[in-house]
Amino acid sequence: MKQPAFRLEPVLRLRRSEEKAASLAAAAAAREATAAARRAEEQATALTRSRLPASTSHGDFVAAMVASRTAAADVAAARALATAHAEQAEVVRSQWTAAAQRTKGLERLRERHVARLQSAADAAEARTVDDLVTRQHGEARRREEEATWTA
C-alpha cells in the first residue's frame, strides 16, 4: 500500500533551497567583511610606518602633511566601510538564521508525519497479527469441540 505523501514537501524543498542560498550569502558577506577589515588595517599599518624626512623644504613638508592627512582620511573611510560590511554581514546572517528556523519548523512537521505513518503501519501490523492469532485459536478450539462431539 502506498503511503500518503507529505503535502508540504514542495514547500520544504523550497525552504531548504532558500536556506542554502541564505547560508551562501552569509558566507560571502562574512568574507567581504573580513577582507574589508583586513584592508583597513593594512592601510592603517602603512600610515603608521610612513615617516617624514628628517630635513625637508617647506613645500615638501606641506606636501607630506597633506599626503599623511589624506592617507588618514582613507584609513578612516576604510574602517567605516569595514564596519558597514560587518553590520551587513550580521544582517545577512540573521536572515540565514530566520531561513533555517523556517526550514526546521517544516522538517519537524515532516518528522511528525513520518512518525504518524509509521505508527499507523505498526498498528495495522499488530491488528493483522492479532487477527491471525485469534483465527488460529478459534480454529483450534473448533477442532477440539468437534473432536469431543464426535467421540
Q: Look at the alpha carbons of 88, 93, 94, 98 in this order and tell me if their dihedral is positive or negative.
A: positive
pLDDT of residue 1: 54
pLDDT of residue 34: 96
pLDDT of residue 3: 66
Q: Would you kindly state where each structural domain of the chain is located, as residue ranges?
A: 9-150
pLDDT of residue 133: 85
Mean pLDDT by 10 residues, the chain (151 residues): 77 94 96 96 89 78 87 94 96 96 94 92 91 83 78 61
Q: What is the pTM of this model?
A: 0.68
Q: DSSP letter string over the chain?
A: -PPPP-TTHHHHHHHHHHHHHHHHHHHHHHHHHHHHHHHHHHHHHHHHH----SS--HHHHHHHHHHHHHHHHHHHHHHHHHHHHHHHHHHHHHHHHHHHHHHHHHHHHHHHHHHHHHHHHHHHHHHHHHHHHHHHHHHHHHHHHHHHHH-
